[in-house]
Amino acid sequence: MKHLLDTDSLTKDWTERLFKKAAIFKKEIILTHRQGEHLKGLHAGLLFFEPSTRTKASFHMAASMLGADPVTVEVAFSSIQKGESLEDTVMTLDAMGCHFLIIRHGEDQAAAAAAKVARQAHVVNAGDGAHEHPTQALLDAFTILEKGKKFEDLTILFLGDVLHSRVTNSNLSLLKTLGVRKILASGPANLMMPEVERSRHGIKYLAQLDDALSQADVIYVLRPQKERHAEEARIVMAQYRQSWGLTSERVAKSVKKDALIFHPGPMNIGLEIDRDIADGPHSCVLDQVANGLAIRMAVLDTLHQDC
């Protein structure tokens, strides 16, 4: 595989090999504070057209922990501000010899457009519009496994702004490939994926949040993606928390004792999730972040090894 653009194209076998490699990197490099030399002499271009904290920092660290040199293009101070297109920017970094181009962009399919024009670089999609965010789904599945859950037995609930969530999109394909059979969604009707899409993915929509919470082994909380909302979808904060927030009261009342709570970050504390839930015993938020590093190291190394 040359590029990582989505999760549709990933096989179970490829994913399991990636997870094995990520576990080795975690044990032998991350936890021992060593530096690998697997990608020594290579350059990893980071092109982030949308804000990012964890994805950008984690790709940067992943590249350098394997010996590659991260090259950050500061989009706000780059020639993009002079009207240069994504394609021209990609071709420029590719021509300089960047071995990887890690791209986040506000438009669906931006990573695929970059892959079309890159002559030698491996393109990695770090989130494109409401389309896909494959490394997020990979680190989520890796974390579910690490917590001892079995995909075949799992009921996962996506809660919140499913409609605009590239994280959900990437998770849906990957989780199905890995054997998950029961996928639920809950959240405001105007932020829900259309019914045709839901039935295509085999998702059951539950309008009663407590009902959905009581069935879920993994609760995946999503932020309302305000930047992608049309004017009419604007949410009222107090109402959102009351109707759809993962509050302490709701968790105490409806959530299974051994349920795991996931959130890709950034979290809006007090809106979609309460502080003590984000920091509480069910929460896997920081495990997700930590595993993101191992997964991204494994992705870069696998793309490099594969061709």
Q: Give the shortest CB-125-to-ligand NCD separation in angstroms.
A: 11
The size of the interface with ligand NCD (CB under 6 A), counted in residues, is 11
Query: Which x/- pattern over 61-100 shows residues binding ligand NCD (rule: CB under 6 A)?
Result: ----------------------------------------
265 is a site residue for ligand NCD (CB under 6 A) = yes
167 is a site residue for ligand NCD (CB under 6 A) = yes
55 is a site residue for ligand NCD (CB under 6 A) = yes
Q: Is 63 helix (H, G, I), strand (E, B) or coil?
A: helix
Q: Token pair of 95, please?
A: 């021509």
64 to each of 22, 35, 50, 269, how far by Cα in Å?
15, 8, 22, 32
How far apart are the C-alpha atoms of 153 and 76, rounded to whole Å? 46
229 is a site residue for ligand NCD (CB under 6 A) = no
Q: Is 183 helix (H, G, I), strand (E, B) or coil?
A: strand
How far apart are the C-alpha atoms of 291 and 289, rounded to whole Å? 6
Residue 211 neighbours by CB distance under 10 Å? 12
Window 121-150: residues binding ligand NCD (CB under 6 A): 127, 133, 136
Q: Which CB atom, from 227 or from 232, has the smaller least distance to ligand NCD? A: 227
291 is a site residue for ligand NCD (CB under 6 A) = no
Among positions 8, 23, 54, 75, the unique one binding ligand NCD when judged by CB under 6 A: 54
- E strand residue ranges, the chain: 43-48, 69-73, 100-105, 122-128, 155-159, 182-186, 203-205, 218-221, 260-262
263 is a site residue for ligand NCD (CB under 6 A) = no
128 to each of 22, 29, 50, 125, how far by Cα in Å?
24, 30, 9, 7
Among positions 160, 187, 245, 264, the unique one binding ligand NCD when judged by CB under 6 A: 264
166 is a site residue for ligand NCD (CB under 6 A) = yes
Judged by the rule CB under 6 A, the positions of this chain that interact with ligand NCD are: 54-55, 127, 133, 136, 166-167, 223, 225, 264-265
